[in-house]
Structure 1
């Protein structure tokens, strides 16, 4: 056997890479709903937002090796939740309900009272593999299917009746009650009540709840309907929005304002590689959801949901790359802390019509340290600068397709100011309280772009990196310019300003030895003369 060409990384570096992946997506289970009904919370009481994908048939179509590859890729892209069917019917591409290993979900077709242990053992493994990567699984226990047709289990559930479906719900609840990374999704692409299946759906949910009250429940209706439009039932904990690029903004607004409040996720829009959808449409659904007050967005791919033969080509695409940038920017500004500007008190003109696809959405962080706007098309917008905390504000344009940003300038937080998009296509506008010293908005824990070679300010190195207990930082900026070097955590919070003086024009060094910080990923940011440079460092204890 030919010897493999293996690159052996130092153990310390391997540990740093693993640590970076874990700290980027770690969520403390179980999830709960905030007392005001607005947010998903983890066990620490922190707001949780879902930057998610939709591999509906993950547990049926892929081998274990392929599942691991898929999950590793998505985790590396910052995805922290996935939408999956517990069981697949024979109405799809393979014409079989069997998984890739030839196992049917039931020992007798459609007999919910005779689940096949071999089939569900593989499902168990898939869910636990996601858990090990910090990924929440939203799972339909019995996917009914569009129009209650042969793509789902609607006919079989109706034939079984509520008693048998309640028994199956108990069986599912008992099997997964100790698996922490699950949210149950009832229905599945359909209004069950329109097809006489609501008693069966209620029985499934109630059966799970009889034995497991810890996991949250939501529902998936059909397009242009929220979960509560079709499943306004006592077991509902979360709402869902299901729309497309023509109506997403108004659908999100209506779902956000629905009483009583309930955390809402954008569970489905139009998918990449389907219906000749544009890249701007894919991005707009995500940004409208985040800035519209929702607690999550699910990105879909026509190559991934049923795992076509070329499914790997759907792993790294224009859409997935833009979703990485989307997650990175919002993580740097605290997605879970954003409050939508539906009254247009912040963006006072240029926002367009919320009933169409040209709507410019705006949200403000609860502490008013940041304003974020998404503009789906070029325009000039007017911002009420007094809605930003502090006396001065920094502004950036960000290209959501490339993840790159350009600094606009620093302005007084009084009166109004017009901002005009710098080019064609869609753009993100970020305005920050200058005194908050937030990290550059396109810099997050999973995507740090190299500083341009022609930048006048550079963080040249950190040695060693990763480090414990100290590292030597080297940086350079033009002589006489005021230079600040500061350290931020992965959420963009300023931890320490370690240099604040005039630059010499030569390479300068200093030793940073943090105290009281846990192991993790941190960012060293140098800023001078309106330019910045950022370097990621890892602290290992």
Structure 2
């Protein structure tokens, strides 16, 4: 029997009804990223009205460089519908970003010089940014991929040109709905490279008047927090749990950066992509073995329960906007327009909806709540508790059972329900007294059978 049939049969046996998260509505995510700031507790982002902002990004690194305007519109409309509120894209893209023109034949830079941006190229970037904002999407805008500012044969930036380029972007997009992201899959390896990054940040601040948040997209875990923790321009930590292994606990990366000082929100800016080969850089890897939606869900929920302020999703065919007319990178094998409907993207929207519906900004990671259950490996269970004690959230990535102390829930009575992160559906199954020890057995188990337990006081 399929999981859908199993769920339906189980749900019909419940005395309570089946609860669906509310659908997205056009314009429901009109948060102004230009007004975003770090919450007072340093753990999440908030909009101008102090409403917590759950950062849910799709990775579209090559959008500016490879898509025409009709394609930009189709892509953005799809991502807004699925519940994303941030689109991560690069001005000077990784794949031919400074040596190949965009869809309209325009190079990004005049004579390859970052101090002389090409206005024609940027008119197309303007269009994409504006259309994203009209869909209620902020742009997580990377000025440059890492290979262009770090030491090496492809380096085009020095301190002077980095500040000029940063100021140009800052002024041009001063009033846009965006977040700056420096780095671009690279780490700061020397004092010289640090000066270039500081100069670009200084230029951005000079150009936009400090209106927008700035982060840094590194390669690997905890590197931005270690290498740039003293940077006054850095507003939130971003890690990259990457694509190295299946069942790698992304929550460990979040925990690492949450321990850093000064305290800042933490987001995984590049977890395992749907459709990318597992351990893609290993020699002799099997290209048929790819991460799927089970892997992307697991990465997101582990990070969220570990205390992340949001999450980024990626698809191997979408980030590079691959078509059959292009050379594939890292085993791309399906046109991006088809890959938009891969299930992991829709399920990322469920993650955001759940987090917002259950007041994620008040959660605290609480692994100590798990009295018995899998605490390592692919079935590792993670738990969080609302600060006021009125809610406990537990994620079981393989539907493995676990035991909790119900006395951790405030109030005499509480409701118990299962949330299915594959379909965005919630099932209330019991009202119970808030004392004693209880074992919980999810409705199904095995790889791909992940479940979220919700305990809410009445």
Shared fold, TM over 0.5: yes
Which TM-score band applies after superposition, normalised by the shorter structure? Answer: 0.7 to 0.9
Task: Please name the residue that 1:312 is paired with.
Answer: 337
The offset of 1:125, in angstroms, is 1.3
TM-score under structure 1 length normalisation: 0.70
Question: Relative contact order (C-alpha < 8 Å, sep 6+): which is higher?
Answer: 2
Query: In the TM superposition, what is the alpha-carbon distance from 1:113 to its structure 2 partner?
Result: 1.8
Q: 1:183–1:215: 8 Å Cα contact kept in structure 2?
A: yes
User: Is the 1:157–1:165 contact (alpha carbons within 8 Å) kept by the matching residues of 2?
Assistant: no
1:50 Cα deviation after fit? 1.0
- Structure 1 residue aligned with 2:126: 124
* 1:60-209 correspondence to structure 2 within 5 Å: 60-88=65-93, 91=96, 96-109=99-112, 111-145=113-147, 155=152, 158-179=155-176, 181-193=177-189, 196-209=192-205
1:379 and 2:382 correspond = no
1:19 CA drift (Å): 9.6
Structure 2 unpaired stretches of 5+: 1-22, 278-289, 324-334
Q: CA separation in 1, counterparts of 2:267 and 2:24?
A: 28
Distance 1:195 1:416 in 2: 54
Q: Deviations over 1:154-174 (max 9, x none)?
A: 658855421222122222222
Q: Does 1:420 align with 2:441?
A: yes
1:229 counterpart SS class = helix
- Post-superposition Cα deviations, 1:458-493, rounded to whole Å, max 9, x if no partner, equal xxxxxxxxxxxxxxxxxxxxxxxxxxxxxxxxxxxx
Structure with the greater alpha carbon radius of gyration: 1
Q: Which has the higher strand share?
A: 1
Name 1:431's counterpart in structure 2: 454
Which structure has more helix as a fraction of its residues?
2
Given the superposition, is the C-alpha separation of residues 329 and 197 from structure 1 closer, same or farther in structure 2, using an over 3 Å criterion?
same
Q: How many aligned residue pairs are there? A: 404
Distance 1:292 1:51 in 2: 16
Q: CA deviation at 1:325?
A: 2.4
Q: Distance in 2 between matches of 1:386 and 1:311?
A: 49
Q: Structure 1 residues 236, 157: CA separation in 2 closer, same or farther (over 3 Å shift)?
A: farther
1:201 positional shift:
1.3
The superposition leaves residues 479-532 of structure 1 with CA deviations (integer Å, 9 ceiling, x where unpaired) of xxxxxxxxxxxxxxxxxxxxxxxxxxxxxxxxxxxxxxxxxxxxxxxxxxxxxx
**Residue 223 of structure 1: how far off its partner (Å):** 2.2
Listed one character per residue, the Cα deviations across residues 192-225 of structure 1 (whole Å, up to 9, x for unaligned) are: 3259522211111112122321211110110234
Secondary structure of residue in 1 paired with 2:357 = helix
Q: Secondary structure at the match of 1:193?
A: coil
Cα distance in structure 2, aligned partners of 1:402 and 1:296? 20
Structure 2 residue matching 1:192: 3-state secondary structure: coil
Equivalent in 224, 241, 249 of residue 227 of structure 1: 224
Matches within 5 A, 1:519-530: none
Residues in 2 aligned to 1:396 and 1:280: alpha-carbon distance in whole angstroms: 21
Alignment pair present for 1:365 and 2:390: no
Given the two structures, how large is their TM-score scaled by the length of structure 2?
0.83
SS of 1:22's equivalent in the other structure is coil
Per-residue CA deviation, residues 295-340 of structure 1 (Å, 9 max, x unaligned), is: 1100000110010111111111121232232223223212223221
Report SS of the residue matched to 2:220. Answer: coil
SS at structure 1 position matched to 2:393: strand
Please give the per-residue CA displacement for 1:233-261, whole angstroms capped at 9, x wherever unaligned: 22111101211441412221111222221
**Cα 1:105–1:264, aligned 2, differ >3 Å: closer, same or farther?**
same
CA contact (8 A) 2:420 2:450 kept: yes
In the alignment, the residues of structure 1 paired with residue 157 and residue 303 of structure 2 have an alpha-carbon distance, to the nearest angstrom, of: 38
Aligned to 1:250: 252
Matches within 5 A, 1:291-370: 291-309=305-323, 310-342=335-367, 344=368, 346-353=369-376, 356-370=377-391
